[in-house]
Amino acid sequence: MFKLPEDVESKYRFVMLSALRAEQLQMGAIPRVDSQSTKATVIAQEEVAAKVVEEWDGAQPDPAAQPAPPAE
């Protein structure tokens, strides 16, 4: 199991962000850190701890889901 980093302000936020990232990794996303593990959950936790994953507020629209502006 991955040890929770000491500078984490919210355990809940760390877990939720890691879970969302693990889901992305399972769907084929490329890992952003070199890891000894092959498990998506561990890789996701390592990414969140390394702060290479953008935090996203679930109350706001997903920036990746925004439609592209119309072409001129």
According to the model, what pLDDT value does residue 41 have?
93
Look at residues 68, 28, 31 and name the one whose alpha carbon lies nearest to residue 47. Answer: 31
> Whose CA is closest to 47, among 71, 68, 18, 15?
18
- At 8-64, the pLDDT tens digits run 888 888 898 999 999 999 999 999 999 999 999 999 999 999 989 887 666 666 555
pLDDT of residue 27: 93
CB 32 within 8 A of CB 53: yes
Q: Taking the model in full, what pTM does it have?
A: 0.72
Q: What is the pLDDT of residue 23?
A: 94
**pLDDT tens digits along 52-65:** 988 766 666 655 55
* Cβ neighbours for 46, distance < 8 A, ≥ 6 positions apart: 2, 33, 35, 37
The domains of the chain are located at 11-55
